[in-house]
Amino acid sequence: MDTMGTMDSYFTSRRHHQLREEVRSFAEREVLPRVPAMEESRSTAHGISRLIARQGWLGATIPEQYGGMGAGHLAKTLIIEELSRVSGAMGAMVQASQLGVAKIVHFGNEDQKKTWLPAVAAGLCLPTIAVTEHESGGHVLGMAASAVRDGEDYVLNGRKVYVGNSHVGDLHGVIVRTGPGSKGLTAFLVESDRPGFSLGEQQPAMGLHGFSFGELIFDNCRVPAANRLGAEGDGLSVAYSSSVLYGRANLTAVSLGIHQALVEETTRFCAERERYGKPLHALANVKIKLGQMQSRLMTARLAAYHAVHLLDQGVDCDAELMNAKVVNVESALDSARNAMEIHAAAGLFTNRPIERFLRDAHHIFAPAGTSDVQLLRLAEVALGTAKGSWSERLSELVRNQPPSPDQDLDWAEGSWGQVPPQRTHCAGKV
């Protein structure tokens, strides 16, 4: 069944197609058989997380000079999407690590890049980004965890919650307070074996079983000043740029993969299950729901690929990234409800994946801004009151890497081609 349609090739190159095939076949061969055990144990799936990391995919946006794929954000989306189609948990695991890469690529100095990026690209180091605290949630400036300078070190205290890959991460990118106000946040790299660092107990969650998004605890954790990312006061930029440019796109891709799986599984069910002597899809109401699911999926994919395509071109696309996240999260949830309705009682049992897809889809609502927050920001775009654009500020760094001389296949040869590096459109923006 070709649910991708011609739109896929509109954005993607031959290399993207090969990558999709490679990830899909790996996911079906290596990840799918492990899903029942992940669902059963509900704890962090260390072995398969490491195996996925070793495929090199965490380095999708790491430049080739640091050992990465230099393949860009659309390639990253395809990797996450294909893993999430089989396991939302493992798609979330990869996206959290790829999100952890952003701060080093954009704010790391040359030493930090040379030390950490090749290890991440090789799958030997899983990075995270830790911003959220229990008392402040999405209100980043409300955070209380702190770092105090002491000679050549900083001493960190406080707790971070819901940190993606908390229990499998090797290198935590932590944003803490070094002073008051918006200029008082600073980012540090904290290795997971540092004295004074520990993990909270993993809490059982509704879905994404196998993925960890738990608590990091800093108790007089001493970190060398060389581990500081950027200057003191850059922490808010590190947090926002990671969330806006990588987080929204990555979580969009997780939703898209789950959505694809919902449509495929429900289509299969409609064809196999018979009622009144005919396949279930012979009932007009069932067929219409399936059509709605397919329509939402196609729109969601269009929004997702378009946004990251613009990001790869270095074009201002903060609004498209927000829209892609809200459209993908909400439409996957709507399709999950339709899928459950079509399955009726059968959908409630764990021998079918539908209830897992529904549970997993709910997990993508909160991170990198809830749908409410995306809509508030989109209203500011419509009103012309949006504040700055991260994709514009970091455009040189996020633009797709030019192919190296020995790279025989270009990542940027989709029939869409290159768009000029200036804003081509923005609904509602003046």
Ligand X SMILES: Cc1cc2nc3c(=O)[nH]c(=O)nc-3n(C[C@H](O)[C@H](O)[C@H](O)COP(=O)(O)OP(=O)(O)OC[C@H]3O[C@@H](n4cnc5c(N)ncnc54)[C@H](O)[C@@H]3O)c2cc1C
* Smallest distance, ligand X to C-beta of residue 177, A: 15
Residue length of the chain: 430
Beta carbon nearer to ligand X, 130 or 270: 130
* Smallest distance, ligand X to C-beta of residue 34, A: 19
* Smallest distance, ligand X to C-beta of residue 348, A: 23
* Smallest distance, ligand X to C-beta of residue 188, A: 14
Beta carbon nearer to ligand X, 82 or 133: 133
Q: Does 324 bind ligand X (CB under 6 A)?
A: no
247-249-253 Cα angle (round to 5): 110
With CB under 6 A as the contact rule, the residue among 62, 75, 120, 131 that binds ligand X is 131
Selected range binding ligand X among 1-9, 161-169, 186-194, 331-339, rule: CB under 6 A: 161-169
- For the window 62-101, what string marks contact with ligand X as x by the rule CB under 6 A? ----------------------------------x-----
- Do 139 and 180 contact (CB within 8 A), yes or no? no
Rounded CA separation 158/176 (Å):
8
* Smallest distance, ligand X to C-beta of residue 48, A: 18
Beta carbon nearer to ligand X, 250 or 401: 250
Please give the DSSP secondary-structure letter assigned to residue 250.
H
Tokens representing 371 are: 């749908």
* Smallest distance, ligand X to C-beta of residue 28, A: 24
Selected range binding ligand X among 191-199, 287-295, 370-378, 408-416, rule: CB under 6 A: 370-378
- The number of residues that bind ligand X (CB under 6 A) is 19
220 C-beta neighbours (distance < 10 Å), count:
11
Q: Does 130 bind ligand X (CB under 6 A)?
A: yes
> What CA–CA distances, in Å, run from 143 to 17, 133, 209, 369, 418?
42, 6, 28, 16, 41
Q: Does 373 bind ligand X (CB under 6 A)?
A: yes
Selected range binding ligand X among 10-18, 132-140, 343-351, 397-405, rule: CB under 6 A: 132-140
Rounded CA separation 218/163 (Å):
14
Beta carbon nearer to ligand X, 286 or 329: 329
Selected range binding ligand X among 42-50, 101-109, 179-187, 362-370, rule: CB under 6 A: 362-370
Selected range binding ligand X among 14-22, 36-44, 159-167, 414-422, rule: CB under 6 A: 159-167
* Smallest distance, ligand X to C-beta of residue 12, A: 27
Question: Contacts with ligand X in 162-191 (CB under 6 A)?
Answer: 162-164
Strand partners, 315: none
Beta carbon nearer to ligand X, 81 or 286: 81
With CB under 6 A as the contact rule, the residue among 63, 67, 118, 138 that binds ligand X is 138
With CB under 6 A as the contact rule, the residue among 67, 118, 137, 184 that binds ligand X is 137
Beta carbon nearer to ligand X, 133 or 269: 133
What are the backbone angles phi and psi of residue 161, rounded to the nearest 5°?
-125, 165
Cα of first residue to Cα of last residue in the chain, in angstroms, is: 42
Q: Cα torsion for 154, 155, 158, 161, to the nearest 10°?
A: 50
Rounded CA separation 106/100 (Å):
11
256-261-264 Cα angle (round to 5): 125
Q: Does 48 bind ligand X (CB under 6 A)?
A: no
Please give the DSSP secondary-structure letter assigned to residue 1.
-
181: CB partners within 8 A, 6+ apart: 141
With CB under 6 A as the contact rule, the residue among 12, 87, 112, 132 that binds ligand X is 132
Closest CA to 97 of 123, 71, 134, 73: 123
Rounded CA separation 271/277 (Å):
12
345: exposed, middle or buried (Cβ count in 10 Å: 0-12, 13-18, 19+): exposed
* Smallest distance, ligand X to C-beta of residue 94, A: 12
Please give the DSSP secondary-structure letter assigned to residue 33.
G
Q: Does 229 bind ligand X (CB under 6 A)?
A: no
Angle formed by the axes of helices 46-53 and 88-107, to 10°? 50
Residues at the interface with ligand X (CB under 6 A): 96, 128-132, 137-138, 162-164, 213, 363, 366-367, 370, 372-373, 376
